[in-house]
Amino acid sequence: MTTPSSLLIRNGRVIDPSQGLDQRADVLLEDGKVAWVAVSSEKRLATDAQVIDAGGFVVCPGFVDLHCHLREPGFEDKETIASGTLAAARGGFTTVCAMPNTNPAVDSAAIVRWVAQKAQVEGYVRVLPIGCVTKGRNGKELTEMGELAEAGVIGFSDDGSPVADVNLMRTALLYSSFTGLPIIQHCEEPSLARGGMMHEGWVASRLGLKGQPSQAEEVMASRDVGLVQLTHGRLHLAHVSTAGTTAIVRWAKGSGLAVTAEVTPHHLALTDEWVLGMQDKNAVYAPLSLMAYDTNAKVNPPLRTARDIEALVAALKDGTLDAIATDHAPHAATDKECTFNEAAFGISGLETAFGLVMRLVHAGQLPLGLVIEKMTAGPAKVLGEKGRGLGSLKAGAMADVAILDPNAEWVVDRKALASKGKNTPLDGVRLKGSVVATVVGGRVAYMARTLKLTPAGRGAR
C-alpha cells in the first residue's frame, strides 16, 4: 500500500514474547527495521512518518509459519505464491516457509532461486523455501543438500510423504548436519497408514471409512528420534497430531536431542467428529446428516480426538511443542467435490489460524501470550540462524508486525478467502479473534477497514 520511511503504531497492547513484553506501548518502525518500543513516544519522528492508532488492539511480531504449501510452480489452480502470501498477510503472517512438494519439486538450487525470486516480486510476505530430502521426492536418492542450503533453504522435507526408508533417513540426518539445517519429517508409517482416509476410531468405523491409527505417526516419530540419537542430526517433526507423539518428543528433548516440533491450529481445535459434518457435539451417535463425509475435514495427518487435543495443549504449555504452524494446504474445488475416498488431503488454513487457535484462549486452555509466542518467537527459534530478526520486536529486528483484535467475532466465509483454496471445514463457523493489520518490512501488507494510516504531523507528538 504505502512505504513510509517510518511507521508508528501507537497505543496498542504490545506482546512480544521474545523479550517478555506485555504492556501498552508504541512501536516505531524505520527503514524496514524495528527502531524502538517505548511506553510513550516522546522521541522525535521523521516528518513523513505515518501513524496507526492501535488502541484496543494487540500489537505483536508478525507470525512466522514454519509449514505451508504455496503450490507454485505446478499447481497454480490450487494456489500461487501471490495468492498464498496474500492469504498469509490476511492471517497475520509475515514469514512463511514453503514446502517443496511442487511440480517440479524444489530439489535443486535453480528451483529454490526461482521460488525465492518469484516471491520477491509477487509475494506479500517473506517466503523461505524448504528443499526436498530426496530427488523428485522419490524417497530414494538424497538431494544436493549443500547447494540447496547455499541457495537459501531453511530445511529439508519430503512433506506430503515421509522419508520411509530407515537407512535413507539415517543418511539424510547425518549428511544434512554439515548444513546446520533440520530434516522436517512428515511422520506416517506407510504400511500402517495405507488407504487410511481419516483417524482410525469410532467415527471412521461408523462411516465405513478406512482409518489410519495414531500409531502410524508415533511409530515413525520414535524411529526418527532413535536415528537422531544415532546421527546427532537435527530433526523437526511436522504437524504433530497425537498424544503419543508428544510423549516421544518430550522424551527426546529431555534426553538433550536436537528435536523440535510443531502443531497445526486444526489439530489443536478440531476432532475427527468434524468429518460427520456436525459442529455441535451433543449427539455423537446421532443419525448421519446429509453433511456427513465432509471432504473439507479430510487432512493428513487426520483430525484426532479430544484426548489428543488435551495432550497437544499440554505439550505447547510445557515447551514440548515449539511452534504452531498452519500446514496450509489449498486445493481446487474439484479436488474436494468428490467422494471422501477420492478427495485430496488438506485444509486451507492461513486465514483462519489465529481465530481458530483463539478458541483455546477464550476457553481458558491457553494464555494469549503463549499462543503469540508459538506463532512468533517459537518458530523463529526453530529456524535458528535463518530466523534471526524474525518473530521479535527487539530494536533492529525486521519491521514485521501483526495487529490483532482478540475479541472480534467473525464468521468464516470460504468465498471471501484470499487463498485460492476454499477448502476449510470452518465455513459458516463463528470465530472470536481476528487480524486487523499486517506489516511486512515496515510496509502495510494488509489492513482492515477499521484501521487507518494518518500522517504523523497532527496526531503524534
Partner 1 sequence: MQGRSKEVESRATPAESITPPTEGSNGASVRKVWQHRHLLDLDTLSMDELELLLKTAETMQGVLQRDVKKVPTLRGRVIITLFYEASTRTRMGFEMAGKLLSADVINITVGSSSVVKGETLLDTILTLQASTADVIVIRHGDSGAPYMAARVLTHTSVVNAGDGAHAHPTQGLLDLFTVQKQLGSLTGRKIVLVGDIAYSRVARSDLWGFTRMGAQVVLCAPPTLLPWDLLNGRTECQGHPFSSVEIEPDLRKAARDADVVMALRLQQERQQAERIPSLREYARYWQVNEEVLSLAKPNALVMHPGPMNEGVEISSSVAHGAQSVVEQQVSNGLAVRMAVLYLLGAPREQ
Catalytic machinery residues: 327
Q: What is the DSSP letter of 328?
A: B
425 belongs to the binding site for partner 1 (CB under 8 A):
no
Q: 319 or 428, CB closer to partner 1?
A: 428
Compute the distance between CA of residue 415 and CA of residue 350 in angstroms, rounded to an integer. Answer: 14
Helix (H, G, I), strand (E, B) or coil at 166: helix
**232 SS3 class:** coil
* Residue 283 burial by Cβ neighbours in a 10 Å radius (0-12, 13-18, 19+): exposed
**Closest distance of CB 209 from partner 1, Å:** 5
Residue 391 half-sphere exposure, CB side, CA atoms within 13 Å? 28
Considering the rule CB under 8 A, would residue 205 count as an interface residue with partner 1?
yes
Q: Of the two residues 152 and 277, which places its CB atom closer to partner 1 in the complex?
A: 277
DSSP state of 364: T
User: Binding to partner 1 by residue 280, rule CB under 8 A?
Assistant: no
Size of the chain, expressed as the number of residues it contains? 461
Q: Counting contacts by CB under 8 A, is residue 274 touching partner 1?
A: no
- For partner 1, the closer of residues 284 and 416 by Cβ is 284
CB of 30 to partner 1, least distance (A): 54
The enclosing H or E element of 132 equals: none
Per-residue binding string, partner 1, 334-353, x by CB under 8 A, is x--xxxxxx-----------
C-alpha cell, 202 = 469410532
Q: Does 208 bind partner 1 (CB under 8 A)?
A: yes
One-letter amino acid for residue 358 of the chain: M
In the bound state with partner 1, the residue whose beta carbon lies nearer, of 236 and 298, is 298
Could you tell me which stretch among 168-176, 209-217, 237-245, 350-358 binds partner 1 (CB under 8 A)? 209-217
Does position 230 bind partner 1 by CB under 8 A? no
Q: Quick one: which of 46, 192, 292, 451 contacts partner 1 (CB under 8 A)? A: 292
Q: Do strands 235-237 and 183-185 pair parallel, antiparallel, or not at all (unpaired)? A: parallel
From 403, 428, 399, select the one nearest 414 (Cα to Cα).
Answer: 428
- What are the C-alpha distances in Å from 88 to residues 38, 74, 125, 437? 28, 20, 7, 11
* The binder of partner 1 chosen from 291, 363, 411, 416 (CB under 8 A): 291
Query: Where are any strands of DSSP class E within 183-326?
Result: 183-185, 198-199, 211-212, 235-237, 259-263, 323-324
Shortest distance, position 202 Cβ to partner 1, whole Å:
5
| Nearest residue (CB) to partner 1, 210 versus 443 | 210
396-415 residues near partner 1, rule: CB under 8 A? none
Q: Is 306 in the site for partner 1 (CB under 8 A)?
A: no
Write out the binding residues for partner 1, residues 175-204 only, by CB under 8 A: 200-202, 204
User: By C-beta, is 121 or 290 nearer to partner 1?
Assistant: 290
Would you count residue 209 as binding partner 1 (CB under 8 A)? yes
Element (H, E) at 424: none
Q: In sequence order, what DSSP letters do the residues of 150-188 get, joined into one string?
A: HHT-S-B--TTS----HHHHHHHHHHHGGGTPPEEE---
Chain residues in the site for partner 1 (CB under 8 A): 200-202, 204-211, 284-285, 287-288, 290-293, 334, 337-342
